[in-house]
Amino acid sequence: MMSVTRAEVCAVACAELFRDAGEIMVSPMTTMVSVGARLARLTFSPDILLTDGEARLLADTPAIGAAGAIEGWMPFGRVFETLAWGRRHVVMGANQIDRFGNQNLSAFGPLQHPRRQMFGVRGAPGNTINHATSYWVGNHSKRVFCDRVDVVSGIGWDKVDPDNPAFRFVNVYRVVSNLGVFDFNGPDHTMRAVSLHPGVDPDRVRENTSFEIAGLDDAAETRLPTDDELKLIREAIDPKSLRDKEIRG
Amino acid sequence: MTDKRTTLDEAVASIESGMTIGIGGWGSRRKPMAFVRALLRTDVTDLTVVTYGGPDIGLLCSAGKVKRVYYGFVSLDSPPFYDPWFSKARTSGSIESREMDEGMLRCGLQAAAQRLAFLPIRAGLGSDVRAFWGEELKTVTSPYPTDGGYEELIAMPALNLDAAFVHMNLGDEQGNAAYTGIDPYFDDLYLMAAKRRFLSVERVVPTEELVKSVPPQALLVNRMMVDSVVEAPNGAHFTTAEPDYKRDEKFQRHYAESAASDETWQQFVRTYLSGDEADYQAAVRKFGEQQ
């Protein structure tokens, strides 16, 4: 076994988001998740669809930033149709996430007079109400994992109205951070630890999260990459090691 | 047939303060920047702007021309990503935001293009989009059952526009036009949602040449959708209009950095935004040579 970096563990944890995903479009919004999605396609999830980040569906699974053969066309209008159709799993970044999975990438502060402006809500409301949504956080901290998000861009489990069937497709699936893997199968759909990365103890997660995470002391250890996976990550997918830039600790 | 060719300044002369304008493109991609620069040369103010925002909304905010913005996002698409002038307008509370999901914006343009009061959409439910809009955004309950209940959906109101501005790669003098890049964005919908329709193109060519140059499905815009045609080479600068040209990343960075202080911004305005479009393009060429 070669020695494994934290970023490589994270890349494999991101790939695991797409195990058994079937023939759907996977939309990774950051480099780390792109590495994971490409790894999944080259190994256990060959049927997922990936784009070049613009409007082409990739037939090949090239290295990050490299061009490859294409198999189709996916302009922004068709992305909106695909997400309403539900055949998609998006992994977004997040400036803030709360215990129910509400996410903010819009702005900090009051809605009409923010202290800091980011992107606005982007596609987060439509993603989260239509299909599987996960998050990647490279810097697990109290600032990100907070009690209450300033702007609800991606909706969390507590926003689901059980009397309104329009909410039936909500699937806020997982969060992968630099410290571990989490889902929302704690009490009342709150955040729960699935696994902590090798070398991360529960107290470290506790100290860096504003709310209580369920199952923290019972969490498994995130699996290590196999030698084949490591080779794919290092040689085929991310030879420039761009994955290391998205991670702290 | 009508020759609809005009100049940038003649075209924007019909824009009045208080109007609602739609701006095509997406983020920092194929934005009708020459039209935006022409708007900066007018004394029009209090605009309501509908856009997938990029430096278009940034420049309009820099000149204090914006009262209200309807947008799915605002992004420069490359570092520093957040538009500095949009950020200033927001953090100073000087503009009213009708922030929405990206798909809602298209839905609102589709409603306007179909002359409908609204279209139902799932996106927006449960999110703070509803708080951004308040009473202006309502829901609608389906008359048909789903899973034993009745779906309550967002009733996305029509985004009716007084005017729309879009930039395409190739067009004729009647307003037929094509995109030659990879994505049409939503430029056809902006035109169909608007009362006055303004098209700029990299090159005006005879109709015969236009239709020979592209496959028919790239002819996104037909002449029913356009009132004015302006030939504006490099008219999307500094956003991308691929395959004609890519985003001018260095200049975009210069734009963003110039917003840092009054002094640097006044210098930017003096150098690039105090003359006509030809002056701008000359100064941009000089900037490119100095890099």
Tokens of B3: 């020759």
Mean pLDDT on B84-92: 98
**Closest-CA residue of chain A to B181:** A55
Tokens of B119: 């279209």
Tens of pLDDT, residues A34-49: 999 999 999 999 999 9
Subunit contact A121:B153, Cβ cutoff 8 A: no
Average pLDDT over chain B, rounded to whole?
98
Q: Which of residues 111-170 of B touch A (CB under 8 A)?
A: 121-129, 131-132, 146-153
Subunit contact A111:B91, Cβ cutoff 8 A: no
Given a cut of 90, whether residue B1 has pLDDT beyond it is: no
Tens of pLDDT, residues A94-131: 999 999 999 999 999 999 999 999 999 999 999 999 99
H helices within chain B, ranges in order? 8-12, 33-40, 55-62, 84-91, 102-113, 129-133, 187-192, 207-213, 249-258, 262-272, 277-290
Tens of pLDDT, residues B197-210: 999 999 999 999 99
CB-CB neighbors (< 8 A) of B96 in chain A: 112
CB burial of residue B261 (10 Å; 0-12, 13-18, 19+): exposed
Subunit contact A155:B74, Cβ cutoff 8 A: no
The pLDDT of residue A249 is 60
Subunit contact A123:B103, Cβ cutoff 8 A: yes
Among B92, B147, B186, the residue with its CB nearest the CB of A77 is B186
Tens of pLDDT, residues B209-244: 999 999 999 999 999 999 999 999 999 999 999 999
- Taking domain B8-100+159-247, whether its CATH number is 3.40.1080.10 is answered by yes
CA–CA distance, A35 with A33 (Å, rounded to integer): 5
Delimit the domains of chain B by residue range: 8-100+159-247, 118-157
Q: Which of residues 21-40 of B touch A (CB under 8 A)?
A: 26
Given a cut of 60, whether residue A18 has pLDDT beyond it is: yes
**Closest-CA residue of chain B to A53:** B77
CB-CB neighbors (< 8 A) of B106 in chain A: 77, 80
> How far off is chain B from A233, nearest CA to CA, in Å?
25
Predicted model pTM = 0.97
The pLDDT of residue A2 is 62
Per cent of chain A over pLDDT 90 is: 97
The pLDDT of residue B53 is 98
**Closest-CA residue of chain B to A109:** B91
Subunit contact A76:B71, Cβ cutoff 8 A: no
CB-CB neighbors (< 8 A) of A88 in chain B: none
CB-CB neighbors (< 8 A) of B185 in chain A: 75-77
Q: Report the residue of A119, A131, A169 to disrupt the B interface, i.e. the one with the largest count of B CBs within 10 Å.
A: A119
Residue A30: CB atoms within 10 A of its CB come to 18
Is this complex scored with an ipTM above 0.85? yes
Given a cut of 90, whether residue A1 has pLDDT beyond it is: no
Map out the domains of chain A with their CATH numbers.
6-243 (3.40.1080.10)
Written as one string, the DSSP assignment of B34-94 is: HHHHHHHTS---SEEEEEEESHHHHHHHHTT-EEEEEEEEE--SSTT-S-HHHHHHHHTT-
